[in-house]
């Protein structure tokens, strides 16, 4: 039972749910239950924040990329993440929120973003692991969201999924090269996989039984699959890729189930998951501080653009 | 016209972006963005919505300039078209056996 059942008009709610059941798309001006709107704003703004904060761990390595080819690829990837943040912020605004308010929530530390970006990028191999695992996990999630019932979100996801295939391949190419290199390079790739594997599995969120928002999101077809279903899909895809480049998934409990055709994995460290979600991961404070600094340093650019527009307004204004 | 100010920061006004995906193709809505003026909106639109040659031309339009139909009046608004099958070629009966 949705929390808003008493406040929403029951007739309109029934019409809305019938539309969802017929797999119709909901557009910004359509009537929607308050809880659908709130859940979408929460989910989409967290997604936008994640794209923006996600630039930080990788941006860290642009100047130290080992070749011009790698540098061009990484630069283009980080630029894509900025674009993805912008797509999703604007899609979120169609729900009646102001982007500036969302950004202020991020800077104030009251908004959440994907915990994966609170882990440090210690070596170049981490850039490979992020593209392969973090973007790989994001693609699994976003491919599902491209069919979300809310039109502006689904359309942003279609665009993003197209672009992120390049992200995953550039990461996997880095891992393949390192894993096939010297013994030291192979060890570097394995070390990155060891550190990023479990946080990547955590990206899919709590187990289904501990996921308080999932029921509404599934019923209203914002999500079409549960956290655990998506996590399993990611594991199944990724294990074969690791084997192909001679890297070992750091999970002694990992085993193939002939009957279900699933790779069964060991227990995730949920204490670590909640610790990072609550703001006490390795880099939470550093990321927010970097984001605030970037926002403040850009203030004069925004002010200058406004001043220039105001000065030229009579000539440039739309009749 | 110069954007809104909130919390001591500036957010710029909202623009809708339309891209033409190829020569001779119709423009389609790509998304929206914030920019202080039309020139910056156009440059931002190129960087945000056409990083991979997705467009050969771009329009940017202030969002508030768009007038649209609403879901509430969608029934009566499109109603005049619903009972006019005589606007379609299949409505008319002609002899068979040659090209029309």
Q: Contact, B82 vs B38, CB < 8 A?
A: no
The answer to whether the Cβ–Cβ distance between A100 and B47 falls below 8 Å is: no
Note the Cα A248 to chain centre separation in Å.
25
pLDDT grade for B3, boundaries at 50, 70 and 90: very low
Could you list the beta-strand ranges (E) of chain A.
255-257, 262-264
Distance CA A178, CA A125 (A): 7
For chain A, give the mean pLDDT. 93
Assess if residue B98 is contained within a domain. Answer: no
Average pLDDT over residues A155-180: 95
Residue B61 lies in a domain: yes
**pLDDT, tens digit, for every residue of A64-74?**
999 999 999 99
Containing B35, the helix (H) or strand (E) segment is strand B28-35
The distance of Cα A194 from the centroid of its chain, to the nearest Å, equals 21
Has residue B53 been placed in a domain? yes
Would B48 be classed as within a structural domain?
Answer: yes
Q: A160, A171, A178, A165: which is closest to A196 by C-alpha?
A: A171
Kindly tell me the burial class for residue A41, based on how many C-beta atoms sit within 10 Å of its own C-beta (0-12, 13-18, 19 or more): middle
CA–CA separation, A129 and A179 (whole Å): 11
pLDDT score recorded for residue A6? 52
Overall number of domains in chain B: 1
What's the rounded mean pLDDT across residues B61-89?
Answer: 87
pLDDT in tens, A136-146: 999 999 999 99
- Given a cut of 90, whether residue B35 has pLDDT beyond it is yes
- Do B12 and A80 count as a contact with CB atoms less than 8 A apart? no
Q: Residue A98: list chain B partners with CB under 8 A.
A: 4, 6, 11
Domain membership of residue B22 (yes or no) is yes
CA-to-CA distance for A203 and A62, rounded, in angstroms? Answer: 24
Of all residues in chain A, the one with the smallest CA distance to B11 is: A100
B91 in any annotated domain: no
pLDDT value of residue A291 = 95
pLDDT of the residue at B83: 83
Which pTM value belongs to this model? 0.90
DSSP class of B8: T
What CATH number has the domain bearing residue B25?
3.10.20.520
**Of A127-141, A146-160, B17-31, B75-89, which range is least confident?**
B75-89
Domain range for residue B16?
9-66
- B55 in any annotated domain: yes
Does residue B60 form part of some domain? yes
């Amino acid at each position: 039972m949705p929390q808003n059942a008493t406040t929403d008009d029951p007739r309109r709610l029934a019409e809305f749910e019938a539309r969802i059941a017929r797999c119709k798309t909901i557009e910004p001006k359509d009537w929607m239950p308050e809880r659908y709107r709130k859940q979408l704003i929460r989910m989409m703004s967290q997604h936008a924040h994640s794209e923006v904060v996600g630039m930080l761990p990788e941006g860290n390595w642009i100047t130290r990329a080992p070749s011009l080819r790698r540098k061009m690829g990484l630069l283009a990837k980080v630029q894509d993440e900025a674009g993805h943040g912008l797509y999703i912020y604007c899609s979120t605004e169609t729900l009646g929120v102001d982007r500036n308010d969302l950004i202020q929530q991020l800077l104030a530390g009251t908004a959440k973003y994907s915990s994966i970006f609170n882990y440090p990028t210690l070596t170049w191999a981490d850039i490979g692991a992020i593209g392969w695992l973090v973007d790989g996990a994001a693609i699994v999630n976003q491919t599902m969201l491209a069919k979300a019932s809310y039109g502006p979100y689904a359309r942003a996801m279609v665009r993003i999924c197209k672009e992120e295939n390049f992200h995953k391949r550039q990461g996997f190419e880095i891992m393949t090269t390192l894993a096939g290199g010297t013994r030291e390079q192979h060890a570097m790739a394995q070390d990155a996989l060891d550190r990023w594997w479990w946080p990547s599995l955590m990206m899919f969120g709590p187990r289904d039984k501990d996921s308080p928002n999932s029921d509404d999101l599934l019923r209203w077809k914002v999500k079409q699959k549960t956290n655990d279903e998506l996590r399993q899909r990611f594991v199944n895809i990724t294990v074969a890729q690791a084997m192909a480049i001679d890297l070992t998934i750091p999970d002694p409990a990992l085993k193939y189930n002939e009957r279900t055709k699933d790779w069964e994995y060991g227990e995730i460290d949920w204490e670590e998951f909640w610790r990072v979600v609550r703001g006490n991961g390795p880099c939470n404070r550093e990321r927010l501080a970097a984001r605030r600094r970037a926002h403040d340093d850009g203030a004069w650019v925004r002010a200058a653009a406004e001043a220039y527009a105001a000065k030229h307004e009579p000539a440039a204004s739309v009749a | 016209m110069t954007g809104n100010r909130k919390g001591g920061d500036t957010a710029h006004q909202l623009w809708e972006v339309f891209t033409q995906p190829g020569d001779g193709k119709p423009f389609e809505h790509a998304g929206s963005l914030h920019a202080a003026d039309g020139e910056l909106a156009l440059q931002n639109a190129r960087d945000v919505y056409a990083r991979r040659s997705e467009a050969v031309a771009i329009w940017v339009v202030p969002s508030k300039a768009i007038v649209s139909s609403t879901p509430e009046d969608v029934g009566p608004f499109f109603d005049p078209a619903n009972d006019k099958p005589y606007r379609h070629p299949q409505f008319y009966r002609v002899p068979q056996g040659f090209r029309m």
